[in-house]
Structures are given as structure tokens and as C-alpha cells.
A and B are shown apart, each in its own frame.
Chain A
Amino acid sequence: MHIDARTLPNGTVLEGDLCIVGAGAAGITIAREWIGARQTVLLLEGGGLQYEAAMQDLYRGDIVGLPYFPLEAARLHLFGGTTGHWAGFCSTFDGIDFAARDWVPHSGWPLRREDLDPFYARAQPLLELGPYDYRAAFWQQQDPALVPLGLDPSAVWTKMWQFSPPTRFGTTYRDAIFAAPNVRLYTHANVCTIEPNDAASAVQGLRVRDFAGKELRVRARHYVLACCSIQNARLLLVSNVGNAHDLVGRFFMEHLEIPSGRLALAPTAAPAGMKMYEWIPHVTKARGELALAPAVQREQRVLNATVSLDPGAPDEVAQSTFQAVTPDVLAAQRDSEAAGSHEPSSPPVPSPPRSGRFFHVMTRQEQAPNPSSRVTLSSDRDALGMPRARLDWQLTALDKQSFQRFYDVLGREFGRSGLGRVQVLDWVRTEDPAWPRTLSGGWHHMGTTRMHRDARSGVVDADCRVHGIANLSIAGASVFPTAGAVNPTLTLVALSLRLSDHLKRRLA
């Protein structure tokens, strides 16, 4: 059932069993799981069913610290959330991503990869992916042209990705949500305050506001924040909830997506071609990227990363993600899709390999968890009267060192195997701690309400419940204690399924 909250009278109280705040990948994933249950689910979406500039402006915020993409362009504020403009890159976190690594401060999840496996498997069809199998050998069986390079996998291995069409949650799951008798989707329902009880041990209700100043109240047995990493933190900070240990908003993480080197393949290196490493939007189902084996990561004391090999010419300068996909490009894509086209409006389709032997090497590296990298509140307020978000993105020496060591290993392995040679870009090899102008993230916001067993080290526990608050959980990448090397969507959908199962047991 869908209700536009603007049509409700001032002071209306919405009541249900489970209230999900935010209808993006995480929120819709959970809501779908409850379709047909006997409990009533309230799904609150701040935006509408279509893009609206005024709604999007609520995501505008201040950027201090390292340069960052405009916040209002990095996330979509409408039903379906940021799946409205994502590219569909999916892969699993590695076992090492969940481990406490003594060279990575604040690392370690209260979960293991094995704990997430069943949920990864369930997430695959939701994202319209193939079988839950991320082994290169499996994909080579499906397509014999997918041949991994003959590197020593104990040093450098081919990590597989799968590509969602990409699934636009706002259109793909709209009918099911609308038709569900026990799920009430309220659009234009921006939550401005979480109201705790007097003991601050539970949430008593939520306050929803619109541009006209009208307010609604929401009451439920349990609440889930699923508004994305920056907005989850913002809402908790505004409401002064869950922040007893000054952790909310800290540990903001991104993936560092930066052109870092070039690869010249030997003429005999890939007799079967490089299809394994190609990506053609809307066409490629699976491809590989190169990553360091876990044992090498331990030995080198580096963060996890993968590199893509993008065909190019030796004298070309590659662009970072932020440089290549500007807010204008995103807007054009959004407009194109709104007009009914499912083809990309911009030209991200890579041209075929020109020489076939030269590649730009683009790194996607996890960011080291850093309490100083954080979201706080701005003194500026949005049209609903809420303090805007203020992002202070900060990196550490480990982030830079990891690039250097990664490329040292990669260069040695290509040389040892005789498959080619790697050229490291100037900014990687300099000892200068400064970052290049190509510094870029992947619009992957993570970590602002991190998961930890101990309330002094994390905002949520291993079940994604806010420490000290009996009926408040958080869904999405904000709970990630570490960022992994791969895009977060598959993992956040898997975690949302896991949270949903947990809540079903609690609310049964």
C-alpha cells in the first residue's frame, strides 16, 4: 500500500509493528521480507517516487577535510534510493575483511564471512545476479573466453565480480510493495527526530515533517534506520540517540578509486584475450579484477584492494571515478532513465582495446577505519529545519602505504611471471603523504554507525541493534566496521536479510 504522507492531516499518528526509515536497497530488502507477515510494516521514504530537486537538496551538506563529491549528488533521495543510479558492481567481501588485522587499527567484525554466506546467496537473486559462485574457474566454465592471467594466485589472484542489470529497487520492487496489504509505504515522509523514552533505553516514536511544517508521529514496536551512512548518522546526531560513546558519525569510510598505474602485457601473455577483465555496461555478467592474496596482505601489512584493467593507450591519462562521472553525468543518466531509457546516456561504454596490450590500472582500495574521518552536524539547516550533514573525510598513512606496497607486489609478480610490466604513477611512488588531485571515492559511504560487540567501540552490536536502545536497529553500509575492497551493495543487502531474520524472531 502506498500513501503520500503530504495528504495526511497534521498530527496524524502512524502505527505499526516494524518501522523502516528509508526505502533504498536496505529498506526495501527488509520490507520485502515481511510481505505477507501478520505484522504491519511502515516503510517511510523521505522522497517521492520520482526525483524532486527540493527533496534532493535535503542531502546537501558541508565538505571539510579532503575534497569530496557533492553530497546531494552522491545519494538519491527517492523511493529506491541510490539504486536509481548505481552501476551494478557486486562482489563478496573476503574472509580477511572480517578479521581483526593487527596492522589495521579498529579492524575486525563480530561476524565471519561464513556467517554471511547464506545471506549472500539470498541477496544474489534480489540484485538479479547469477549463481552464488565467485570462483574464476566457475565463470570460465560458463564462458571459456573468461581466462584468468597466469599469475601465481598465492601472490596475486583474480577476484570475480558479478554485475546487476543494475536492479533499480524503486521500479523492480515497486509493485510488490504497493500490493502488500501489511506494508504501508509512506513517501514524502522525512523523519526529523527520533524520540527516545525518558531512560533513553528505547525509542518511543519518530517525528516526520514536511515542507509546509506539518508533522506526523510514528509509533512502532521496533525501528530500523536505513537511510544511508551519512543520513543515519545525521538523524542519530540530531536526536542525540545511540551516541553515548561519541562514536556516531565517526569512521566514515570510502573506497579509494584512483588511477594508479599502467600495465603493458607481453605479446604472449593473454593468447585467449582479456575478456576476463573487461566490463561492458549492461552486457558483462562477470569479470575479474586483480587482488593480493590474504597471506601477502598479512606479510606486506596492507589494506585490501582490487585493481581493474581498463584498455587504453600508453600516453593516455586515466580519470578517477569522480573525474569521469561528474554530477552532470549522473543527472543526465537520471533524466535518461526517467524518460524511460534503460541505456546509459553518457558514454561509459569503453572502446575496444586499442593496442590490446596497454591497460590503465585503476585501484579500488578499502579505507583504513579512522575515527577522525567523520560526519558531524553543520550550523546550516535544510528546508525542514534539520542541521545539514558536515563531512570531514580523512585518510591515514596506511592508506597511502598500502598503494605503494600493492604496486610493488603487482609489479614484481607481472615481471616474475613474464606476463608484462607495471608502471606506477608518480603519486603512488612519492613519499609525499599528500594525495593527488585524482583522489576519488566510489560514492560508497560506510562506517558511521559501526558494528562492534563492545558499546565503547561500536554503535551497533553484531545483530545491528543500537547498543543500549532496545528497539532500534540500523541497516546499510553504515554498520560496516571495515570497508572491504569491493562495492558495498551486495554485502549491505545480505546484512539486511540477516537483520530481517533476526527481527522476525524478535517480533514473532
Chain B
Amino acid sequence: MNRRDFLVSAASAAGFARTRDDCDALAHPALLAVLGGETVRGIGQRYRALVATERDREPLRSAILASGPLRSFWMPRAALAQRVRADFAAGRTVLVAGWVLSVTEARQCALYSLLPSPPTPR
């Protein structure tokens, strides 16, 4: 393990990945810009229904964080984007509601679906 990997692992282990910004990023997949909130919420609900062990916030966060060190932990959004692309490249994909998704972003959708729905504008 080189110095950088050590720092990254240590930071993850120490809970750096649970900063407010990070939690926000985990529950806000880049997919929102592609599919919109309603579809992403639906995907998240389907994922939680499909994967019995990942229905709640903590197991979902843990699964995302445990699936590999977030190398750029100080920039969780960029790191997550990188992770999502790596998932696709490695075939770590899952079909949810027919969408071909990275495992990481599917979990992000599930986290997003646990957030309270935004109020309907009057």
C-alpha cells in the first residue's frame, strides 16, 4: 500500500466519508440530471424491494462505501462519478425497472428514495 492509498483507507475508516457533503452526494446520484427525480425515486424503491439486505439507509451507505475506497474522498461527487463509470467498465451493473445501471448508482437511487419527497409546488 502506498502512502496515498494508506491515507485514503485511513480516512474512510475514520469516517471521513460521512461528512454532510458526502452523505448528500451519496443520496444524490448524477443520474438525477439524466432521468429526473421521479424516475430516480422509482428506481430506488424498486432496488430496495429487489435487494432485501439493502432496504435502509445504513446498509445502503455501507454497501456504497465498502465496495472500494473512495479515492478522492474529499470530492465525493467526482469520486462517485468515477466509481459509477468503473462499475460500467467492469460489468458491475444491475437492471432495475429495465434501466442498465451501475451497482453504485442503483444504491444511490435507493438512498434518494429514502429522502422525503420535495413539497409539491402550489
Give me the interface of A with B, judged by CB distance under 8 Å.
261, 264-267, 314, 357, 407-408, 410-416, 418, 420-426, 429
Binds A, one of B5-13, B19-27, B68-76, B92-100: B92-100
Binds A, one of B31-39, B46-54, B56-64: B31-39
Answer whether residue B1 sits at the interface, using C-beta atoms and an 8 A cutoff: no
Give me the interface of B with A, judged by CB distance under 8 Å.
31, 33-35, 39, 81, 84-85, 87-89, 91, 93, 95, 97-102
- Given A415-B100, A416-B85; A266-B34 close (CB under 8 Å): yes
B95–A415 CB distance below 8 A: no
Residues of B within 8 A of A418 (CB): 81, 85
- A-B contact sample (15 more), CB < 8 A, given A412-B91, A416-B88: A266-B34, A407-B100, A408-B93, A408-B100, A414-B100, A415-B85, A415-B87, A415-B93, A415-B100, A415-B101, A418-B81, A422-B99, A423-B97, A424-B95, A424-B100
A266–B93 CB distance below 8 A: no
In the complex, how many angstroms separate the beta carbon of B40 from the nearest chain A beta carbon?
10
Instruction: Give the contacting residue for A412; candidates B31, B33, B34, B88; CB below 8 A.
Output: B88
In the complex, how many angstroms separate the beta carbon of A365 from the nearest chain B beta carbon?
18
B interface majority secondary structure: helix
Residues of A within 8 A of B97 (CB): 423
Residues of B within 8 A of A415 (CB): 84-85, 87-88, 93, 100-102
In the complex, how many angstroms separate the beta carbon of A116 from the nearest chain B beta carbon?
36
The closest CB in chain A to the CB of B95 belongs to A429
Residues of B within 8 A of A267 (CB): 33-34
Instruction: Give the contacting residue for B39; candidates A314, A420, A422; CB below 8 A.
Output: A314
The closest CB in chain B to the CB of A418 belongs to B85
Residues of B within 8 A of A407 (CB): 100
Residues of B within 8 A of A425 (CB): 98
- Given A416-B85, A418-B81; A411-B100 close (CB under 8 Å): yes
Residues of A within 8 A of B87 (CB): 415
How far is A408 from B88 in the complex, measured between Cα atoms in Å?
A: 10
- Mind listing 8 A-B residue pairs with CB under 8 Å? A411-B93, A412-B88, A414-B100, A418-B81, A420-B34, A421-B101, A423-B97, A425-B98
A423–B81 CB distance below 8 A: no
In the complex, how many angstroms separate the beta carbon of A355 from the nearest chain B beta carbon?
10
A interface majority secondary structure: mixed
In the complex, how many angstroms separate the beta carbon of A390 from the nearest chain B beta carbon?
38
How far is A96 from B115 in the complex, measured between Cα atoms in Å?
A: 50
The closest CB in chain A to the CB of B92 belongs to A412
B99–A412 CB distance below 8 A: no
- Given A411-B93, A416-B85, A416-B88; A423-B34 close (CB under 8 Å): no
Residues of B within 8 A of A413 (CB): 88
B31–A421 CB distance below 8 A: yes
In the complex, how many angstroms separate the beta carbon of B98 from the nearest chain A beta carbon?
4
How far is A422 from B87 in the complex, measured between Cα atoms in Å?
A: 15
Residues of A within 8 A of B93 (CB): 408, 411-412, 415
In the complex, how many angstroms separate the beta carbon of B91 from the nearest chain A beta carbon?
7
In the complex, how many angstroms separate the beta carbon of B105 from the nearest chain A beta carbon?
8
Residues of A within 8 A of B31 (CB): 421
Residues of A within 8 A of B85 (CB): 415-416, 418
The closest CB in chain B to the CB of A357 belongs to B34
How far is A410 from B100 in the complex, measured between Cα atoms in Å?
A: 9
How far is A265 from B35 in the complex, measured between Cα atoms in Å?
A: 9
The closest CB in chain A to the CB of B99 belongs to A423
Residues of B within 8 A of A422 (CB): 99-100
In the complex, how many angstroms separate the beta carbon of A40 from the nearest chain B beta carbon?
61
Residues of A within 8 A of B99 (CB): 411, 421-424
How far is A116 from B97 in the complex, measured between Cα atoms in Å?
A: 44
B35–A264 CB distance below 8 A: yes
Residues of A within 8 A of B88 (CB): 412-413, 415-416
Residues of B within 8 A of A410 (CB): 100
How far is A265 from B84 in the complex, measured between Cα atoms in Å?
A: 16
In the complex, how many angstroms separate the beta carbon of A242 from the nearest chain B beta carbon?
47
The closest CB in chain B to the CB of A408 belongs to B100
How far is A414 from B99 in the complex, measured between Cα atoms in Å?
A: 11
How far is A429 from B91 in the complex, measured between Cα atoms in Å?
A: 16
In the complex, how many angstroms separate the beta carbon of A318 from the nearest chain B beta carbon?
14
How far is A414 from B84 in the complex, measured between Cα atoms in Å?
A: 12
B98–A421 CB distance below 8 A: no
Residues of A within 8 A of B81 (CB): 418
A421–B33 CB distance below 8 A: no
Residues of B within 8 A of A421 (CB): 31, 34-35, 99-101
Residues of A within 8 A of B34 (CB): 264-267, 357, 420-421
How far is A323 from B84 in the complex, measured between Cα atoms in Å?
A: 38
In the complex, how many angstroms separate the beta carbon of B37 from the nearest chain A beta carbon?
13
Residues of B within 8 A of A420 (CB): 34
Residues of A within 8 A of B98 (CB): 261, 423-426, 429
Residues of B within 8 A of A408 (CB): 93, 100
